């Protein structure tokens, strides 16, 4: 109960950050679609803050509105104050390695809170985010408004794809309710001899890598392949879900290493480095990707079962 | 017509390949899938709405952004550059390995970096090229490009395989959300712990790969230049 209340408080804080991003957009006179951009963030904030008390279909309809706004390309990052390299250099010289303390604490405290506090691993992230805010103020001497300014600046630069994981989990739920998982598992069951867990692991990892290559996005592949293959052939047969999930997504990343679809990671940097062959990075990564893939299959087989 | 239900997957694939807006693609895929399998529009919206609310946890990483944003403003990147710049007298392969380790640690400690423009182009590639020139003299175009590719690749290895070790990472939370939506009892701490072995292994694999690069360059230039192979 207390955990749920705490979670709702954290979701309200996330909502506040979304509202700040919307306000940033409204203030940016150069942004052509600033009222629609702001509308996107305000609506998203409302879903986070009061969504649980609304009819579910109303939340669903709001998500459709969000999708229409992004689909019509009306949600844009706003200018706001950019990072200032000169200030960064000056502060780096003043603070030295102390600047690493808050970020190390962010991960460290989250782990400690998840392990030792009774509020659950999910709330641990929020707790650590708040405690580290105090630490970062102490270390940098930043003014209080920096939390709002920098938090919304970074959220704005993460942008709308920040809600993609959450949306993909919802897509997975629709797929499950529609029976998509059953169709995939029916088709895949031809490949997997009854009770042969090694082949099941291999097919799941290969499915993750292959779908990630096609879509260029491991997250999207994860919701499809895990519902269709991971659940029925591994987890339902007693495999450890945390191991299957963790290794499943990173098995997908083996596919990311060898696909031009993941342009940010493989193609853009080749241009950035002025390489003659724009597929040079993919070529260099192919062997490591193959070795890592084989290791994923082996570790999942021996560890999850 | 069971296979018709797969249309949602097709929509996702086509949408991502054609680089259509990801949010709209995913929502359309969900609605179409629901409709072709006989649900009413209201039912689909209810499922979407219900699971979107119950999976807000996937977006809880937002609470870490103020801290990271302030650190960025106060010289986080500049200081990281200083640290890496201290690596001297290493071979090209070692420079790249050290960077991969730092990148992996960064990812595991929640740093959101765009490594290629921020580190690889301005720092790591020049350092690796410099180390190779000191050892072998002038490099041919082929070697230059190979070093560039290895530098860029090390950023990807460090970033991809270590990021799930952070319990607040988007990928970690996606795994938790997706599996708990499927009825598994799972939390972010378990997923992060299960991600540690692969992170460590990826560093070992990267280091071996970079060592082989050094050996290859030794053979290639050792004969030609009579360098200290």
* In chain B, domain spans: 2-54, 61-225
Instruction: Assess whether pLDDT exceeds 60 at residue A171.
Output: yes
pLDDT at B227: 46
Residue A286 — very low, low, confident or very high, per pLDDT cuts 50/70/90?
very high
Tokens of A190: 């031809």
pLDDT at A141: 93
The set of residues, in sequence order, having a beta carbon less than 8 Å from that of A141 and lying 6+ positions away, is none
Tokens of B44: 């689909």
Instruction: Assess whether pLDDT exceeds 90 at residue A68.
Output: yes
Residue A253 — very low, low, confident or very high, per pLDDT cuts 50/70/90?
very high
Map tokens 């809170």 to a residue: A113
C-beta atoms of B45 and A170 within 8 A: no
Residue A194: half-sphere exposure toward Cβ, Cα within 13 Å: 0
Q: For the segment A204-220, what is each residue's pLDDT rounded down to a tens digit?
A: 999 999 989 988 888 98
| Closest chain A residue to the Cα of B108, Cα to Cα | A107
Residue B112 — very low, low, confident or very high, per pLDDT cuts 50/70/90?
low
Instruction: Assess whether pLDDT exceeds 70 at residue A143.
Output: yes
| Closest chain A residue to the Cα of B183, Cα to Cα | A231
Instruction: Assess whether pLDDT exceeds 90 at residue A13.
Output: yes
Give the residue from A17, A73, A105, A129 with the most B CB atoms within 10 Å of its CB, the best one to mutate.
Answer: A129
Tally of CB atoms within 10 A around A89: 16
Judging contacts by C-beta atoms under 8 Å, the chain A residues touching residue B58 are 165-166, 169
Tokens of B98: 């050290």
| Closest chain A residue to the Cα of B107, Cα to Cα | A107
Give the residue from A169, A189, A221 with the most B CB atoms within 10 Å of its CB, the best one to mutate.
Answer: A169
Tally of CB atoms within 10 A around A202: 20
pLDDT at B1: 67
- What distance in Å separates residue A284's CA from the closest CA in chain B? 6
Instruction: Assess whether pLDDT exceeds 80 at residue A139.
Output: yes
Q: For the segment B114-130, what is each residue's pLDDT rounded down to a tens digit?
A: 678 778 887 889 889 98
Tally of CB atoms within 10 A around B44: 23
| Residue range B61-77: mean pLDDT, rounded | 89
Which DSSP helix (H) or strand (E) runs through A47?
helix A34-50
Instruction: Assess whether pLDDT exceeds 90 at residue B155.
Output: yes
Tokens of B207: 């280091």
Contact between A292 and B205 under an 8 Å Cβ cutoff? The reply is: yes
pLDDT at B226: 46
| Closest chain B residue to the Cα of A238, Cα to Cα | B184
Tally of CB atoms within 10 A around B64: 26
Dihedral sign from CA coordinates of B41, B47, B52, B58: negative
Chain B segment 206-225 residues within 8 A of A by beta carbon are 206, 209
CA distance B214 to A141: 45
Q: H-type helices in A159-305, by residue range?
A: 164-178, 180-188, 197-215, 218-225, 241-256, 263-266, 268-272, 280-304
C-alpha distance from residue A90 to each of A36, A98, B73 (Å): 38, 14, 11
Q: For the segment B187-199, what is each residue's pLDDT rounded down to a tens digit?
A: 999 999 999 999 9
For chain A, say whether B10 makes contact (Cβ under 8 Å): no
Instruction: Report the share of chain B in percent with pLDDT over 90.
Output: 59
Judging contacts by C-beta atoms under 8 Å, the chain A residues touching residue B44 are 60, 174
Size of interface A-B (CB pairs under 8 A): 486
Average pLDDT of every residue of chain A: 92
Judging contacts by C-beta atoms under 8 Å, the chain A residues touching residue B116 are 265, 268-269, 272-273
For chain A, say whether B178 makes contact (Cβ under 8 Å): yes
Give the residue from B19, B37, B47, B74 with the most A CB atoms within 10 Å of its CB, the best one to mutate.
Answer: B74
C-beta atoms of B178 and A223 within 8 A: yes
pLDDT at A61: 97
C-beta atoms of A51 and B52 within 8 A: yes
Judging contacts by C-beta atoms under 8 Å, the chain A residues touching residue B71 are 99, 102-103, 136, 140
CA angle A216–A222–A227, rounded 5-degree value: 140
Judging contacts by C-beta atoms under 8 Å, the chain A residues touching residue B42 are 57
Which of A13, A87, A250 is closest, CB to CB, to B161?
A250
Judging contacts by C-beta atoms under 8 Å, the chain B residues touching residue A245 are 175-176, 178-179, 186, 191, 194
C-beta atoms of B121 and A224 within 8 A: no
SS3 B139: coil
- What distance in Å separates residue A78's CA from the closest CA in chain B? 16
pLDDT at B228: 46
Least confident of A64-73, A221-230, A296-305, B39-48: A221-230
| Residue range B98-120: mean pLDDT, rounded | 83
For chain A, say whether B48 makes contact (Cβ under 8 Å): yes
Give the residue from A15, A86, A173 with the most B CB atoms within 10 Å of its CB, the best one to mutate.
Answer: A173
Of residues B208 and A211, which shows the higher confidence score? B208
| Residue range A29-51: mean pLDDT, rounded | 95
Which of A56, A166, A243 is closest, CB to CB, to B56?
A166
Average pLDDT of every residue of chain B: 89
| Closest chain B residue to the Cα of A53, Cα to Cα | B53
């Amino acid at each position: 109960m207390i955990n749920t209340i705490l979670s709702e408080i954290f979701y309200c804080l996330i909502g506040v950050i979304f509202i700040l991003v919307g306000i940033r957009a409204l203030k940016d006179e150069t942004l052509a679609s600033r009222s629609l951009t702001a509308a996107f963030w305000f609506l998203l904030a409302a879903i986070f803050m009061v969504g649980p008390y609304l009819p579910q279909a109303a939340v669903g309809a709001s998500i459709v509105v969000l999708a229409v706004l992004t689909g019509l390309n009306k949600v844009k990052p706003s200018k706001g104050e950019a990072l200032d390299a000169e200030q960064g250099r000056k502060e780096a010289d003043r603070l030295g390695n102390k600047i690493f303390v808050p970020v190390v604490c962010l991960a460290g405290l989250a782990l400690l809170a998840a392990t030792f506090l009774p509020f659950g691993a999910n709330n641990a992230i929020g707790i650590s985010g708040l405690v580290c805010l105090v630490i970062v103020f102490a270390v940098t001497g930043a003014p209080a408004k920096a939390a709002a300014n920098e938090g919304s600046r970074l959220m704005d630069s993460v942008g709308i794809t920040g809600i993609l994981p959450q949306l993909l989990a919802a897509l997975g739920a629709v797929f499950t309710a529609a029976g998509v998982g059953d169709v995939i598992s029916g088709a895949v069951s031809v490949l997997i001899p009854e009770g042969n867990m090694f082949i099941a692991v291999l097919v799941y990892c290969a499915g993750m890598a292959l779908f990630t290559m096609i879509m260029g996005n491991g997250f999207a592949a994860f919701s499809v392949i895990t519902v269709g293959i991971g659940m029925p052939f591994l987890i339902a047969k007693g495999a450890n879900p945390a191991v299957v999930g963790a290794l499943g997504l990173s098995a997908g990343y083996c596919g990311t290493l060898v696909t031009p679809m993941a342009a940010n990671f493989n193609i853009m940097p080749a241009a950035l480095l002025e390489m003659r062959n724009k597929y040079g990075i993919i070529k260099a990564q192919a062997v490591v990707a193959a070795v890592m893939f084989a290791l994923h299959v082996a570790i999942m087989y021996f560890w999850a079962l | 017509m069971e296979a018709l239900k797969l249309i949602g997957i097709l929509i996702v694939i086509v949408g991502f390949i054609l680089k259509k807006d990801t949010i709209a693609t995913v929502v359309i895929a969900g609605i179409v899938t629901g409709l072709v399998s006989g649900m009413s529009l209201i039912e689909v919206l209810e499922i979407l709405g219900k699971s979107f609310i119950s999976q807000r946890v996937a977006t809880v990483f937002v609470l870490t952004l103020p801290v990271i944003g302030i650190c960025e403003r106060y010289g986080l990147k500049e200081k990281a550059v200083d640290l890496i710049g201290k690596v001297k007298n290493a071979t090209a392969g070692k420079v790249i390995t050290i960077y991969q380790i730092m990148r992996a640690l960064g990812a595991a400690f929640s740093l959101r970096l765009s490594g290629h423009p921020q580190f690889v182009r301005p720092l790591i590639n020049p350092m690796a090229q410099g180390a190779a020139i000191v050892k072998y003299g002038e490099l041919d175009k082929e070697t230059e490009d190979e070093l560039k590719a290895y530098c860029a690749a090390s950023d990807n290895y460090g970033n991809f395989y270590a990021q799930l070790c952070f319990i607040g990472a988007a990928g970690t939370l996606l795994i938790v959300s997706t599996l708990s939506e499927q009825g598994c009892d799972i939390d972010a701490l378990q997923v992060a712990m299960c991600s540690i072995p692969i992170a460590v292994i990826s560093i070992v694999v990267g280091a071996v790969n970079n060592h082989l690069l050094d050996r290859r360059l030794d053979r290639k230039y050792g004969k030609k230049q009579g360098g200290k192979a």
